[in-house]
Amino acid sequence: MSGGKLEVVRAGALTTLQDLGRFGHAYLGVPRSGALDQPAHRLANRLVGNHADAATLETTLTGAAVRITQPVIVAVTGAPAPVRVDGRPAAWAEATYLPAGAVLDVGVPTTGVRSYVAISGGVAVPPVLGSRSTDLLSGLGPAPLRDGDILPLGEKLGRPLHADTVVWQAPPQELVLPVLLGPRDDWFTATAVKTLASAPFSVSPQSNRIALRMDGPTLERAVHREMPSEGMVLGAIQVPPDGKPVVFLADSPTTGGYPVIGVVPENRLSAAAQAGPGLGVRFVPVRRRQQS
């Protein structure tokens, strides 16, 4: 029995399909990709009875609207936004019944950047290298959604979760990122390292799924020679020639040729998914033994 179809009524500024990511292909230059706000993605799937790796819709700033051809359960998490079913208000962060042919509309977030739409059965486009995620850097996976796109849905697997309490972390009023200094902090002056740890930064409008780019003071290098490309990890804080730090996110390259002054632990990156342009950012160096 078919799981039905999803029709994109309004694609929004940038709506992509995301699951937990594309693992084990860094040696081919393929980023991990996957949902930027993994806790929100997992929660949305849990609310509708999906496995955590089912593909959700990740909207950006302006939401999206979709029509489903058969009855489903849906849930919207991540950045809080108005949710409507055929124009009528519906619950946010709660399992909601969507009749066949009804339009689910997720509006502009009241805070944060990205909302996650889970549909019972998940979006069942063919996986590429083991994932249904859209990768904006390599172009792997389905293209960002466009108005009129029609996508297949999978079979419903589990029961939706109706919980009295849902644990969820609101988008930050200030983004505080712990940093493990290195491996190339010695390529920077002592003043630059102090600046990273004490100066206020803000999120640049040029940020995207590849990297969170910073506006603010520049970090001066002590070593000015070029360096060979080396492997990059999620959360790496790379400093290009303009001296403005860049925090690598899910679609970031697997190698890079600029020095990495520090690394944000991966389990603290989900908050970066909800950091909009102009949001204040502070970097807090931590001792390695404090990380578990």
Give the model confidence (pLDDT) of 228-274 as tens digits: 999 999 999 999 999 999 999 999 999 999 999 999 999 999 999 99
pLDDT computed for residue 160 by the predictor:
72
Q: Are residues 44 and 179 in the same domain?
A: no
Print the domain residue range for 76. 5-152
Mapping DSSP onto H, E and C, the string for the chain reads: CCCCEEEEEECCCCCEEECCCCCCCHHHCCCCCCCCCHHHHHHHHHHHCCCCCCCEEECCCCCEEEEECCCEEEEEEECCCCEEECCEEECCCCCEEECCCCEEEECCCCCCCCEEEEECCCECCCCECCECCCCCCCCCCCCCCCCCCEEEECCCCCCCCCCCCCCCCCCCCCEEEEEEECCCHHHECHHHHHHHHHCCEEECCCCCCCEEEEECCCCCECCCCCCCCEECCCCEEECCCCCCCEEECCCCCCEECCCEEEECCHHHCHHHHHCCCCCEEEEEECCHHHCC
Q: What is the mean pLDDT of the chain?
A: 93
Last residue of one domain, picked from the residues 120, 152, 184: 152
pLDDT computed for residue 288 by the predictor:
65
pLDDT computed for residue 167 by the predictor:
64
Q: Are residues 135 and 223 in the same domain?
A: no
In CATH, what number is assigned to the domain containing residue 206? Answer: 2.40.100.10
177-189: pLDDT as tens digits:
999 999 999 999 9
Q: Are residues 136 and 180 in the same domain?
A: no
Whether residue 158 lies inside any domain: the answer is no
pLDDT of residue 166 exceeding 70: no
Q: Are residues 126 and 211 in the same domain?
A: no
pTM of the entire predicted model: 0.93
Whether residue 251 lies inside any domain: the answer is yes
The count of structural domains within the chain is 2
Give the percent of the chain with pLDDT over 90: 89
pLDDT of residue 290 exceeding 60: no
Q: Are residues 198 and 90 in the same domain?
A: no
Q: Are residues 184 and 47 in the same domain?
A: no
Q: What is the mean pLDDT of residues 118-122?
A: 97
